[in-house]
Homo-oligomer: A and B are copies of this chain.
Amino acid sequence: MIKVGVVGGTGYTGVELLRLLARHPGAQLHAITSRGDAGMPVSDMFPSLRGRVDLRFVTPAEAALDQCDVVFFATPNGIAMQQASDLVNAGVRVIDLAADFRIRDIAEWEKWYGMQHAAPALVAEAVYGLPERHREQIRSARVLANPGCYPTAVQLGFLPLIESGAVDLSYLVADAKSGVSGAGRKAEVHTLFAEAADSFKAYGVPGHRHLPEIRQGLVGMAGAPVGLTFVPHLTPMIRGIHATLYAKLTKDVDVQALFENRYRSEPFVDVLPPGSHPETRSVRASNICRIAVHRPQGGDVVVVLSVIDNLVKGAAGQAVQNMNIMFEFDEMLGLDVVPVSP
């Protein structure tokens, strides 16, 4: 039984982490911090946790996080980079669900995130926590950068194509659609129900923060530059990401076999039979990524459909998967659930 701390438990990734950790057989919730809500029972803010999580929010000072085996940061960008060093030096392993350690190029990070980085050395050390790519490095990571939601869906969808050199890297398109919980639990007008329901829109077309993260990942797979166009959209559902990916084949491969072989032993990637169209609800509340791959009319354009739950495989679930790998638990421990559908 490892001792677990959570910093910033008041957002959607925070409460989802609590949902998963509360029933994890190998983890014990030690402390949940919130400066603003210290003293409040967690279940007062999240009634879904009543009777399942009995902790109160505490201040960072009260939390004694250095006694934890692992600390999750479910905070806004820019917080973990300030606190991680002390924890790591105290022997605590850190899993950051925000973006602080995801981009290796510090200047690039600072451009997209609009602040100075406080811990460049930790960025150099940090492991990018996409288990399907970096499982070995994850085992020994002291600082783990948990991938973003869009980057998870998009990278898993492109991975077999790029690793195998099957597609033209100069022109990749990722048209991605997210549920509104991806925007976080912040009081803002544009994500109000009466704004976001019964409507659909793109956003961030000139440039979205997940673009450099995805590009870095694809370049890593390719060992070469990639030309990526990434367009995110807001869709009127609570959870779920659907990435529709387009690429041109440069050789005539059996794309179905390519995907099946690549993901055969992955516990959380499910390659669907030919002709399938995965629905986001088929992975709701689970850590599964389901993928279908098509060559419409048998042509040289390959279309990949990749779905995840943005709060689970796209955030809290993948973080727990990474924790399982880091602490040598069974990788599915606490995550072996059946998606909730309908």
Query: Restricting to A301-332, which residues have a CB under 8 Å from any CB of B?
Result: 301, 303, 305, 307, 311
Shortest C-beta distance, A173 to chain B (Å), equals 5
Is the CB–CB distance between A205 and B281 below 8 Å?
no
Is the CB–CB distance between B337 and A23 below 8 Å?
yes
Inter-chain contacts of A338 with B (CB < 8 A): 18-19, 22-23, 48-49, 52-53
Instruction: Kindly state whether residue A336 has any CB partner on chain B within 8 Å.
Output: yes
Is the CB–CB distance between B301 and A46 below 8 Å?
no
A181 and B205 in contact, given A229-B303, A341-B15 (Cβ under 8 angstroms): no
A181-208 to B contact mask, C-beta < 8 Å, 1/0: 1010111110111111111111101110
Instruction: Kindly state whether residue A93 has any CB partner on chain B within 8 Å.
Output: no
By the criterion of a CB under 8 Å from any partner CB, how many residues of chain A are at the interface? Answer: 90
Is the CB–CB distance between A242 and B200 below 8 Å?
yes
Report how far A192 CA is from B53 CA in the complex, Å.
24
Query: Restricting to A1-55, which residues have a CB under 8 Å from any CB of B?
Result: 12, 15, 18-19, 22-23, 46-53
How many chain copies?
A: 4
Instruction: Kindly state whether residue A296 has any CB partner on chain B within 8 Å.
Output: yes
Inter-chain contacts of A282 with B (CB < 8 A): 47-48, 50
Instruction: Kindly state whether residue A132 has any CB partner on chain B within 8 Å.
Output: no
Residues of A bordering B, CB below 8 Å: 12, 15, 18-19, 22-23, 46-53, 171, 173, 175, 177, 179-181, 183, 185-189, 191-203, 205-207, 227, 229-231, 233, 235-240, 242, 244, 246, 248, 270, 272, 275, 277-286, 288, 290, 292, 294, 296-297, 299, 301, 303, 305, 307, 311, 336-342
Can you list 9 residue pairs at the A/B interface with Cβ under 8 Å?
Answer: A15-B341, A23-B337, A48-B281, A175-B175, A180-B194, A185-B342, A201-B277, A205-B296, A206-B297
